[in-house]
Amino acid sequence: MKILVPVKRVVDFNVQIRVKSDGSGVDTAKAKMSMNPFDEIAIEEALRLQEAGKASEVVLVSIGPAQAAETIRTGLSMGADRGILVRSEAPVEPLAVAKILRAVVEEEGPGLIILGKQAIDDDSNQTGQMLAGLLGWAQATFASKLEVDGAYFKVTREVDGGLQTVRLKAPAIVTTDLRLNEPRYASLPNIMKAKKKPIVERAAELYGVDLAPRLEVLRTTEPPGRKAGVKVKDVAELVSRLRNEAGVI
């Protein structure tokens, strides 16, 4: 079974982003970029399945600018086998990403696709579910445990009330939540090895997908700020202020 893992290059999770003062967007020009953290978890899970003999090959795909090759290379250093870079300089919305991925899936024929549950830049939380809908495949989002069970996958999902376990018919789509695993660091020998692993590059236009955005971004603004309040000296003052000043207890 081949596993396909789509990955996205995003502003590093530790960076405090800055909204441009003219409302035209978020200033990412000099920001440190990294792989979306949920996608690292997806790669780790694919590698563990491969190491357990459940998967033959782990293929990464990223849709983005030339620099997204670095993101793919990061995943190859973790241990994935090869990469596909679908070049697009302009941002691509989740629906169009899902359509490009559908075309990649038709070429590659994976038995399992593992994606991050959301990208930490646009916080859309859509691509995996959309791809499952387009392919007509089973889906299990927000996974905290994944087991291969013959022609099925057994997936435990993090849901609002606790945990839910479902059984999916293969081929299927799984999106990762935080506690599925802890991604490995790339070892130096693996970083060296990854330099020789192949990354095929294709223009997004070749997939015949309409890339025009459906959502027009009119403006991007800072959220209303919240100011620090007062420091209270002890518990008695806290209780008194909550009761008499804020009136919430």
Partner 1 sequence: MTTLLIAEHDHASLKDVTNKALTAAAQLGAPVDVLVAGENARGAADAAAKLNGVAKVLLADDPAYAHDLAEPLAALIRSLAPGYDAFVAPATSRFKNVMPRVAALLDVMQISEIIKVVAPDTFERPIYAGNAIQTVKSRDAKKVITVRSSTFAATGEGGNAPVEAVASAADPGLSSFVGERVARNNRPELASARIIVSGGRGMRSSANFTKYIEPLADKLGAGVGASRAAVDSGFAPNDWQVGQTGKVVAPELYIAIGISGAIQHLAGMKDSKVIVAINKDADAPIFQVADYGLVADLYEAVPELTEQLGKLGR
Applying the rule CB under 8 A, the residues between 143 and 162 that interact with partner 1 are 144, 154, 157-162
With binding defined as CB under 8 A, does residue 244 bind partner 1?
no
Per DSSP, the three-state class of 161 is coil
Choose the binding region for partner 1 from 40-48, 74-82, 185-193, 228-236 (rule: CB under 8 A): 228-236
Q: Is the peptide bond before 171 cis (omega within 30 degrees of 0)?
A: yes
With binding defined as CB under 8 A, does residue 141 bind partner 1?
yes
Which residue in this structure is represented by tokens 């995943």? 75
CB nearer partner 1, residue 85 or residue 168: 168
With binding defined as CB under 8 A, does residue 88 bind partner 1?
no
Shortest Å distance, C-beta 215 to partner 1: 4
Site for partner 1 in 7-36 (CB under 8 A): 11, 13, 16-17, 19, 26
Give phi and psi for 43, each to the nearest 5. -65, -45
Q: How far is 109 from 245, CA to CA, in rounded Å?
A: 63
Site for partner 1 in 42-81 (CB under 8 A): none
Shortest Å distance, C-beta 188 to partner 1: 27
Q: How far is 110 from 237, CA to CA, in rounded Å?
A: 61
Which pair of tokens denotes residue 238?
A: 């806290």
Among 21, 30, 136, 244, contact with partner 1 (rule: CB under 8 A): 136
Per DSSP, the three-state class of 90 is coil
Which pair of tokens denotes residue 78?
A: 């973790």
Site for partner 1 in 107-126 (CB under 8 A): 117-118, 120-126
CB nearer partner 1, residue 55 or residue 96: 96
Choose among 139, 90, 92: nearest CA to 114. Answer: 139
With binding defined as CB under 8 A, does residue 215 bind partner 1?
yes
Q: How far is 66 from 64, CA to CA, in rounded Å?
A: 7
